[in-house]
Amino acid sequence: MQARELFVSAPGKVILHGEHSVVHGKVALAVSLNLRTFLRLQSTSSGEVHINLPNIDTFLSWDITALQPLLAGCKAEQGGLKELDADLLKRLREFTGISEDSTDTRSMAVLAFLYMYLSVFAESLASITVSVWSELPTGAGLGSSAAYNVCLSAALLSARGNLSYPLTPQQESARWSKEEMELINRWAFMGEKIIHGNPSGVDNAVCTWGGFLRYHAGNITPLSWVPILRILLTNTKVPRSTKVLVSGVKDKMNKFPSVMKPVLESVSAVSCACEQTLTEMAAHGPSAELYNILEELIDINQHHLNVMGVGHSSLDTLCRVTLARGLHSKLTGAGGGGCGITLLRPETDTSVIQSTVEELKACGFDCWETSIGAPGVQQHSSAALSQDK
């Protein structure tokens, strides 16, 4: 063990533009959300490994002597991580009793933790206590699992000595080097594979790097020097199935190809226009004209998403309530309920924001004022974290 105690955090994520069309090879913009997941790792001498996940009411521990046999035949991979170790994963499922078809949040979180812990510390299992808490709701399409996996990756690799300590005694928070961030991201992607099976890699990349990312045909490109934007994030709390919604869009594509293909092309053009606008904001500063463009693009994309059949009456309510106050909203993620984002201009009056939040809560929604474009994974001092919390 290289540290007695360390703290890390990672942001959630939202899709700004390009939902569903990205499945068909078009451009999407994903962005970090400044609702964060926090992790505290403590070195102990108990001979045990503890995982505490208060958000999902999970508190478990194992003797190191019970975990050690699971590593039989396993090879420690500290840098060149490529694929999941299927044998180790199978043994872990047998050890924990978690079946291959399980999608239970608690089970998947525990499985990802144990896999990463055993893989990182394969040469010498360490007694640690890991506690993770989050501002992100689970299952809302906001990257809660990716933020969790990024935090696990950064903390375990740091404790093992595979990452430097970017934080000096004078700093409250710090980030790792580009190469170290890439390592964090690769390990976090392994955790995402355990939880989701075949993820795109976008969520863990956004939670690692922060800011805005362009995603196109499997290629992920971070956008440099983009502004942080204020938003309202609304969770309609209407459950939906991403799989069913994606399938519905595909059915429409097959039924009306000459109608739907131009819609998807237009959504891709919205993503590109938004990227250009954000670049201009970064270069010349925000202006009323540029905010007008961002608002228009939000409205256009929301109409596109309704045409695709992934809208919902709850999202219509969100758009109506916010537009009545001059604010512009769209769904984010799969649609069919779920979450939406509302852009806030710099000059938006506090009273307008408060009355909007109150009305949305009266509709039965959860609503937060936060920001997008926030920093990615960071290490924190204990003092800074206690102030934040």
Q: Which residues are catalytic?
A: 145, 203
Q: Pairing between strand 378-380 and 173-174?
A: antiparallel
Tell me the sheet residues that pair with 12: 33
Give the residue from 194, 221, 190, 217 showing the smallest Cα distance to 206.
Answer: 221
Specify whether the CB–CB gap between 144 and 12 falls below 8 A.
yes
CA 52 to chain centre: 20
Specify whether the CB–CB gap between 74 and 90 falls below 8 A.
no
Specify whether the CB–CB gap between 266 and 304 falls below 8 A.
yes
Q: Pairing between strand 48-53 and 128-134?
A: parallel
What is the total residue count of the chain? 389
Give the residue from 371, 264, 311 showing the smallest Cα distance to 28.
Answer: 264
Give the residue from 37, 104, 29 showing the smallest Cα distance to 341.
Answer: 29
- Looking up tokens 């362009």 gives 214
Specify whether the CB–CB gap between 47 and 94 falls below 8 A.
no
